[in-house]
Amino acid sequence: MKKYLSFFRLRFVMGLQYRSAALAGIVTQFVWGFMEIMIFHAFYQTDAAAFPMSLSATASYLWLQQAFLAFFATWMMENDIFDSILNGNIAYELCRPISIYNMWFSRSVATRLSRAVLRCFPILIAAALIPHPYGIDAPASPMHFLLFVLTLILGLVVTVAFCLLIYVLTFFTISPQGLRIVFTSSVEFFAGAVIPLPFFPEKVQKVMELLPFASMQNVALRIYSASMSTAEMKNAIILQVFWLVVIVAAGNLLCSLAEKRITIQGG
C-alpha cells in the first residue's frame, strides 16, 4: 500500500505545478458554464413549470459540473500510459514488483484530484457571487452536503476505474483512438455532461440511471441541488458502489489476461 501512496503523492505534487494551465482552464470553464446557463435560461423563459428542475438548481448543477470537471471528464486521460503500451515501455513497469492496475489507479486519482484542487475553488467562489438564480446555491441541508461529498468521491473513483478499462483494452488493439472516441462520447452523453439526466423522458431516464455512466457525475450534482428524493439517493449510492466493484473487478481481470499474453518485440 505504501508504494501506491507514494505514486499518488508524487503525481499529486506534480499536478499542482501546472498553475498556468489551471488558470486557462478556470477562465474557459467559467465562460462555458455561464454560456450553458444562459441557454437553459432561454428555455426556462418559455415555461419554467415544464422542467423537472428549477433554474437555480440547474445553475448549481452546471457550476458544480464545471468546478469538478477534472473529476468526471473521461477525455482527460493520461497519454503517457497509452504511449507506454504502444511503444513497449510497459515492459519496465511489468518488471517492477507492483500491480500496474493499482499503480495506474493511484496515479489517475492523484492527477484528477490535483487538477480539481487548482480549479474548483475559484469557480465556486465566483459562482457564489453571481445573483440568484444564475449562481450556485448553498446545499439544501447539511445531510445533502455530506452525501454530496461522499457521492463526489465515489463518482471520481468510478470514473477512474472506467478510464482504466480503456487503458487495459489498449493491450488488445492496434490503436487506442477508436476506443477513446467511442467510450468518451458515450460517457459524455449518458453521464449527464451534455444534458442533465432529469431532462430526458422519464422512461429513458430510468434506464440511463441504471447504467454505470450515471454513477459518475449525475448522482453527486443532483444530490447537491436536492433534485432527488431520499429513496432515490439511497438507490443511487448503492448503484455507485455496485458499479465501482464491477468495473474494478473487470479491469483487474482484463489486466491479468493482458499481462499473460503481452508480447514486446525489439531489443
pLDDT for the residue numbered 215: 92
Average pLDDT over residues 217-233: 90
Q: Has residue 58 got a pLDDT over 70? A: yes
| DSSP letter (8 states) at residue 198 | G
Number of domains into which the chain is organized: 1
Contact 99, 187 (CB under 8 A): no
267 falls within a domain: no
Expressed as residue numbers, the domain containing 155 is 2-261
Distances (CA, A) of 134 to 130, 237, 255: 6, 28, 45
pLDDT for the residue numbered 264: 61
22 falls within a domain: yes
Summarised one tens digit per residue, pLDDT across range 245-258 is 999 999 999 998 98
Handedness of CA 7, 26, 194, 235 (dihedral sign): positive
243 falls within a domain: yes
65 falls within a domain: yes
Q: Has residue 97 got a pLDDT over 90? A: no
pLDDT for the residue numbered 267: 44
Summarised one tens digit per residue, pLDDT across range 176-193 is 888 888 888 889 899 988
Summarised one tens digit per residue, pLDDT across range 7-50 is 899 999 998 888 888 898 899 999 999 999 999 999 898 887 77
77 falls within a domain: yes
266 falls within a domain: no
pLDDT for the residue numbered 35: 93
155 falls within a domain: yes
pLDDT for the residue numbered 161: 95
Q: Has residue 265 got a pLDDT over 60? A: no
107 falls within a domain: yes
